Amino acid sequence: MPKDEKLRVEIIQLHHDMPIAGRGGQWKMVELVTRNYWWPGIMKEVKRYVEGCDQCQRMKNRAEMPAGKLRPNQVPERPWQYISVDFITKLLVSKGYDLILVICDRFSKMSYFVAMT
């Protein structure tokens, strides 16, 4: 293979961007390219190309355990047993306050709004 950077990138691009290639990652790309071509440093160039591909990084399988099944929140039996707290931020300053603290009871849906800085 001649030492032509543009030609090498074009060969990798043709093997990588074809829909039939399937975006299988670095090792599959090396295997596909080396079926017909070889040059010194092919592994590094393919790795750099795959790591720079936005779609490959989005589709990459993560080696993490599944999060598990979702469990519903407990149903409150009386008012103010379970509350939720949130902030409303990035408001215009009014009387020295620029955010609102929201406290909400999950049982009665009663809410308190507290102006804060």
Residue range 76-110, pLDDT digits in tens = 999 999 999 999 999 999 999 999 999 999 999 99
Residue range 45-76, pLDDT digits in tens: 988 988 888 887 777 777 778 788 989 988 99
Over residues 14-36, the mean pLDDT reads 80
In a domain, 100, yes or no: yes
Question: Is residue 97 situated within a structural domain?
Answer: yes
Residue 64 within any structural domain of the chain: no
Q: Is residue 91 a part of any domain in this protein?
A: yes
- φ, ψ at 63 (rounded to 5°): -90, 65
Q: How far apart are alpha carbons 38 and 35 in whole angstroms?
A: 8
Pair 47, 87 in one domain: no
Query: What domain range includes position 30?
Result: 5-59
> Is residue 55 domain-shared with residue 13, that is, in the same domain?
yes
Q: Does 30 map to a domain?
A: yes
Phi, psi (degrees; rounded to nearest 5) at 97: -105, 145
Q: Which of 44, 59, 74 is the last residue of a domain?
A: 59
Please report the sign of the dihedral spanned by the C-alpha atoms of residue 8, residue 14, residue 15, residue 17.
positive
How many structural domains does the chain have? 2
The reply to whether 67 falls in a domain is: no
Tell whether 49 is covered by a domain.
Answer: yes
Whole-model pTM? 0.48
Pair 89, 109: CB distance under 8 Å: no
Neighbours of 49 (CB within 10 A): 19
Q: Say whether both 9 and 47 belong to one domain.
A: yes
Shared domain for 92 and 54, answered yes or no, is no
